[in-house]
Amino acid sequence: MAGYDEVYQRSIRQPEEFWAQAARAVEWDVPPPRAMSEHGWFAGGRLNTCHNAVDRHVHAGRGDQAALVYDSPVTGTVRTLTYADLLDRVARTAGLLRDLGVGAGDTVVIYMPMVPEAVVAMLACARLGAVHSVVFGGFAAAELAVRIDHARPKVVLSASCGIEPSRLVAYKPLLDEALERASHRPSACVILQRPQRPAELTPGRDLDWDDAVRGAAPAACVSVAATDPLYVLYTSGTTGAPKGVVRDNGGHAVALRWSMENVYGAAPGEVFWAASDVGWVVGHSYIVYGPLLAGCTTVLYEGKPVGTPDPGAFWRVVAQHGVRTLFTAPTAIRAIKKEDPSGSYAKKYDLSGLRYLFLAGERLDPDTYHWASDLLGIPVIDHWWQTETGWPVAANCVGIEPLPVKPGSPTKPVPGYDVRVLDTNGDEVPPGVEGAVTVRLPLPPGTLPTLYRDHDRFVSAYLSRYPGHYLTGDGGYLDADGYLFVMGRTDDVINVAGHRLSTGAVEEVLASHPDVAECAVIGVADELKGQLPMGFVVLKAGCGRDPAEVERELAALVRERIGPVAAFRRSVVVPRLPKTRSGKILRGTMRDIAAGRPYTAPSTIEDPAALAEIAETIRET
């Protein structure tokens, strides 16, 4: 068996041959004539992603194997769908979409909680060659409206409500408000009525999900080009305007199928659980597509790491369903650790079948790594990737050769990713020296080929800063052994519990308050969530308001406009913001202060006293 170094070098030196071999694990309607070309990965090939994720397993005689385990402590439900069950539901839902006029290339927005129908909806779109865009259920109406206007869906698939441990979240009123705000009008909305809070349907536009699917004839898989889009997933941009990351069908299927075996060490028939949400890239890649492409059983969990009902929730799911590989965010493990520092809840369950714990979404701090490693007695694997890449950039590839762990590092680059760390001039830096983390082109299959309806922004955001390289937006370094250390974002996107959030988007909300003259938002360290947004606001002259009252209003405003996902609870009224003489707010310097890093006031600063004031405020809060 080839070791990591051999496999990695082959992927970099002979990418054509490497990925052509990996593509043999995918069933093609028309095999691609070659792996790489100027037209994209596997151009000329044709396939259907849904066929590869569902139909092929049924055709191979594995229809009775569990495909999806739905575990919902918030509703007290545990249900298993076999591959045959999933095929029937997906084909009928695709038939419903077809009857509503959805065809190859059309877009469908999915705004749903963590229920099986959300997975079915994604696969049904893939079955027709339609492009799905899932919007996380934690987003408020304004954010949903922006995504509807950009994606221009023919149909919206949603539900009457989502369920949190302490409250119900009515999705339908949020959808109605979003459609009122949006200029685009979908031809229909299909609403899954949940018994906990049924919704009032709008005549002539809204359909009841169960009734509509029941009356639909199954639809067959539609063959699409490998380079055709499978989905668009919006991610925060530094301007506040979301970026629509495109994922193609062919490269995505090949890369995810390869990663399940080689990165995660997962085999067909095993239970794989990504404790995330289908609204995020982890949910797309490793709740839905990756495990099903590999013939695994995937777990869809509608609950929290704590509070549903206790800090033993994850361990109960692992033991009850025979989970072999668990993938979650460090935030989840920190939440469990906070509630159960001795790990007593884990000791109540038989976790002997759990082989690996993978963590990603934010930097894994060494304390959390050691706590989980000591508690579980299994490899705890930090790995690093992005919405844009769709699958891991750096990881300990346990399916190839497990490498020694260095806490604080996601280990080495994954085969296919030629990771380089560059200085401001675009030159590679020596080992141990920090710089911009980049990937030398070409990017491997499964990564973004463009941004939806905005290729110019794709080039300017990712490819123009360092020609010949993809800019990750993260800073870090490679050590002498080739291990990557990612130190954090270099732009104005912060990481809140594994969710990327644009500080610019939060600033737009704060600036809309009638009493706010100007503002700045930075990410500050948080023991539980990794980072939290913190706002600094200057009130308009003569305002006369109680600052504490304004601060409360701002927190409520962010919750309303962006949603609870922002976790925005703290803003501070300050007399002024530190700026350069040209009027630019010193956000980078403020981030350094908040992170406890050494900083130097730039020579262009307008008022050094303003920086000293803000530094004192940050230290106090």
Residues in the chain: 621
Q: How far is 579 from 614, CA to CA, in rounded Å?
A: 11
Q: Residue 81 CA to chain centroid, in angstroms?
A: 25
What pLDDT was estimated at residue 540? 80
Task: Give the chain's domain count.
Answer: 2
- Examine residue 417 and state whether it is found in any structural domain, yes or no: yes
pLDDT tens figures, 263-321: 999 999 999 999 999 999 999 999 999 999 999 999 999 999 999 999 999 999 999 99
222, 22 Cβ separation under 8 angstroms = no
Residues 537 and 450 in one domain: no
- 13-28, pLDDT tens digit by residue? 999 999 999 999 999 9
Domain shared by 536 and 587, yes or no: yes
Provide the 10 A C-beta neighbour count for residue 582. 7
Assign residue 590 the CATH number of its domain: 3.30.300.30
Within-domain flag for 342: no
Residue 575 falls inside a structural domain: yes
Supply the pLDDT for residue 620.
78
Say if residue 528 is in the same domain as residue 455: no
Asked whether residue 478 is domain-assigned, the answer is no
Q: How far apart are CA 247 and CA 267, in angstroms?
A: 24
Q: Which two tokens stand for residue 562?
A: 């962006």
Q: Are residues 408 and 512 in the same domain?
A: no
- What gap in Å lies between CA 280 and CA 48, rounded to an integer? 22
Domain membership of residue 323 (yes or no) is: no
- Distance in angstroms (rounded) separating the CA atoms of residues 583 and 516: 17
Statement to judge: residues 420 and 524 lie in one domain: no
447/592 same-domain check: no
Those residues whose C-beta lies under 8 Å from the C-beta of residue 74, and which sit 6 or more positions away, are 163, 164, 165, 302, 303, 308
pLDDT of residue 42: 98
On whether both 233 and 143 belong to a single domain, the answer is: yes
What is the model's pLDDT at position 498? 67
Q: Do 179 and 185 contact (CB within 8 A), yes or no?
A: yes
49 is a domain residue: yes
Model pLDDT for residues 138-194, shown as the tens digit of each residue: 788 988 999 999 999 999 999 999 998 888 999 999 999 999 999 999 999 999 999
Whether 528 and 409 map to the same domain: the answer is no
User: Same structural domain for residues 45 and 150?
Assistant: yes
pLDDT under 50 in the chain at which residues? 238-239, 582
- Boundary (domain end) residue, out of 459, 476, 511: 459
Query: DSSP string spanning 463-515?
Result: ISSSTTEEEEEEEEEE-TTS-EEEEEESSSEEEETTEEEEHHHHHHHHHTSTT
Q: Is residue 455 located within the same domain as residue 502? A: no
Q: Are 538 and 561 in contact (CB under 8 A)?
A: no
Same domain, 10 and 83: yes
- Look at residue 373 and tell me if it is in a domain: no
* Global pTM value: 0.85
pLDDT of res. 238 = 47
Residues 92 and 208 in one domain: yes
**Each residue's pLDDT tens digit, 504-532:** 678 878 888 988 877 888 888 787 887 88
Whether 360 is covered by a domain: the verdict is no
H or E stretch at 294: none
pLDDT at 607: 74
CATH number at residue 195: 3.40.50.12780
Choose among 299, 289, 291: nearest CA to 320: 299
Range of the domain at 407: 4-303+383-459
